[in-house]
Amino acid sequence: MQEADMASYCRDWHGDVEASAIAVLRPANTEEVAHCVKTCSQLGLSIVPQGGNTGLVLGGIPDAPASQVVLSLERMSRIRHIDAEDFSAVVDAGCILEVLKDAVAEQGLFFPLSLGAQGSCHIGGNVSTNAGGINVLRYGMTRDLVLGLEVVLPDGSVLNLLRTLRKDNRGIDLKQLFIGAEGTLGIVTAVAIKLFPQPLQVETALLGLHSLDDAIALYRRARYECCDLLSAFEFMPPLAFDLAIEAMPELVMPLEAGAPAYVLMEVSGSGRVDVRALLEGFLEAVMEEGLVIDGTMASTKAQSAQLWSFREGMNEGQAKRGLHLRTDVSVPLSKLAAFVHDTSAALTLALPECESLAYGHVGDGNVHLNVLPPASYGLQERQRVIATGKKIINEWIDRYDGSISAEHGIGRLKLADFEARLPAAQRRVLEGLRQVINPAGLMNPRCILSDASSPESAV
């Protein structure tokens, strides 16, 4: 592969980092992956496993050009088997999430993992980062959707845990080690997943509320009254709609503007429940009580897609504002409103010239708290804003016993912040795992954990 062809494998999703590597390996099957791993091991080369390269924490791109290869799973994209009677499928790690979702949908089945990058990300990358997304509150994280794995270990042996059993209590569940390990303990080459009945009724509503506190109260009400059929519950501040319209000027605000807080909620189901009547009844009650002040329910698929396009447009709008601080944090749901209030106030005080916004998967206690510098700021000023904002957010996360990475992982981007908060006992176990499974440290070095004894140095 020419250097120019390699560039896209060495550049991160946001385009913030351009790295390089000795080579990009593109094995076509599990045996070839094992062969690549053995050969690299003999040559003392370290491997950065890569899926769709849509990760947000620099876990899938190299950091040491002289000694690293990228191993892309993109040629391993086969759906090995869909078993409709077992509600399961087995797929190669390099299968694109959307391809997989479409293939099972053709058989009336549903794979619930849903995220912005689904047209590019790979199921193997989803497993390695334990991807979340918008349906977590109903169906769980990727971990909850995995029945089995096939993994090539750093010594080149193949760990075959590729089962579709729902219940299998044969001692320690080794596959759990590799879910969310970001390729540091081995390379996921195939995945067995759980499938669900395709929800044929999907009802979406955009609601205006008085505050984030009210949004959380609404979420709790919805959990009780919508009978476990709530499938998404996204919080958005008014600024989110401005950003979406900046990116997609054709969007038309579907509600009267002016509510201080918005919620995009989805209730879904197959079968004999009238999901539309359920949501209508619920919304009628909460509007009568004044908890929801304004609202619209999509009456067609196109209208529903339009409501969701605000959620996606908001991300594009932020990107158009130039380099800014993006975070991905979580706290217990009962503390979420207080955390957002306190942290936003501290950000306004320290960075009065910037706009901050908090949005996200409120039902999971997960918010993206971002800070946008004014348009006039240059690179250096933006970097200062990012450093100051991150320090403030992390301090408040620590006070609220939260996580500095709710969905995105640690990778190389959050390594220092992670290690600074890592208790000694936990560090010893993590280092012990690496010592046992990845003793030469050649599998995705300096991702999640730094390695003082590594002969390489980061770029």
Q: Which of residues 396-415 bind a copy of itself (CB under 8 A)?
A: 401-410
d(CA 298, CA 279): 11
Nearer to a copy of itself among residue 383 and residue 403 (C-beta): 403
Assess 65 for contact with a copy of itself (CB under 8 A).
no
Q: Helix, strand, or coil here: 133?
A: coil
C-beta of 100: minimal distance to a copy of itself in Å?
Answer: 19
C-beta of 195: minimal distance to a copy of itself in Å?
Answer: 10
Nearer to a copy of itself among residue 180 and residue 313 (C-beta): 180
Sequence-ordered list of residues with C-beta below 8 angstroms from that of 243, at least 6 positions apart, any chain: 313, 314, 316, 317, 318, 321, 357
Assess 448 for contact with a copy of itself (CB under 8 A).
yes
d(CA 275, CA 203): 7
Report 135-154 residues binding a copy of itself (CB under 8 A).
136-137, 140-141, 143-144, 153
Using CB under 8 A, which of the segments 60-68, 173-181, 247-255, 317-325 binds a copy of itself? Answer: 173-181
Nearer to a copy of itself among residue 4 and residue 424 (C-beta): 424
Nearer to a copy of itself among residue 392 and residue 404 (C-beta): 404
**Could you tell me what percentage of the chain is helix, strand and coil, using 3-state DSSP and rounding each to the nearest 5?**
35, 20, 40
Report 264-293 residues binding a copy of itself (CB under 8 A).
269-273, 278, 281-282
d(CA 178, CA 172): 13
d(CA 100, CA 146): 14
**Residue type at position 175:** K
Closest residue by Cα to residue 411 from 446, 442, 447, 445: 447
Assess 86 for contact with a copy of itself (CB under 8 A).
yes
Assess 365 for contact with a copy of itself (CB under 8 A).
yes
Nearer to a copy of itself among residue 256 and residue 395 (C-beta): 395
Assess 177 for contact with a copy of itself (CB under 8 A).
yes
C-beta of 85: minimal distance to a copy of itself in Å?
Answer: 4
Report the residue from 28, 79, 99, 227 that binds a copy of itself according to the rule CB under 8 A: 227
Assess 262 for contact with a copy of itself (CB under 8 A).
no
Are 380 and 373 in contact, with CB atoms under 8 Å apart? no
Assess 381 for contact with a copy of itself (CB under 8 A).
no
Report the residue from 225, 246, 342, 451 that binds a copy of itself according to the rule CB under 8 A: 225
C-beta of 209: minimal distance to a copy of itself in Å?
Answer: 17
- Beta strand 366-372 pairing with 329-330: antiparallel
Report 317-356 residues binding a copy of itself (CB under 8 A).
330-335
Report 115-134 residues binding a copy of itself (CB under 8 A).
129-130, 132
d(CA 34, CA 128): 18
Using CB under 8 A, which of the segments 171-179, 241-249, 256-264, 343-351 binds a copy of itself? Answer: 171-179
Nearer to a copy of itself among residue 183 and residue 317 (C-beta): 183
Size of the site for a copy of itself (CB under 8 A): 96
Nearer to a copy of itself among residue 338 and residue 350 (C-beta): 338
Nearer to a copy of itself among residue 276 and residue 321 (C-beta): 276
Assess 30 for contact with a copy of itself (CB under 8 A).
no
Nearer to a copy of itself among residue 198 and residue 309 (C-beta): 198
Assess 255 for contact with a copy of itself (CB under 8 A).
no
Assess 173 for contact with a copy of itself (CB under 8 A).
yes
Burial 317-338 (b: 16+ CB within 10 A, else e): bbeebebbbbbbbbbeeeebbe
Strands (DSSP E) found in 255-315 = 261-269, 292-297
C-beta of 136: minimal distance to a copy of itself in Å?
Answer: 7
Nearer to a copy of itself among residue 65 and residue 197 (C-beta): 197
Q: Helix, strand, or coil here: 98?
A: helix
The pair of structure tokens assigned to 256 is 């009267």
- Strand order of the sheet with strand 230-236? 292-297, 201-209, 261-269, 230-236, 355-361, 366-372, 329-330
Classify residue 251 by burial, with Cβ atoms within 10 Å: 0-12, 13-18, 19+.
middle
Report the residue from 174, 253, 458, 459 that binds a copy of itself according to the rule CB under 8 A: 174
5 to 1, 116, 251, 411: CA distances (angstroms): 6, 25, 37, 24
Nearer to a copy of itself among residue 313 and residue 411 (C-beta): 411
Are 364 and 408 in contact, with CB atoms under 8 Å apart? no
Classify residue 389 by burial, with Cβ atoms within 10 Å: 0-12, 13-18, 19+.
buried
C-beta of 146: minimal distance to a copy of itself in Å?
Answer: 11
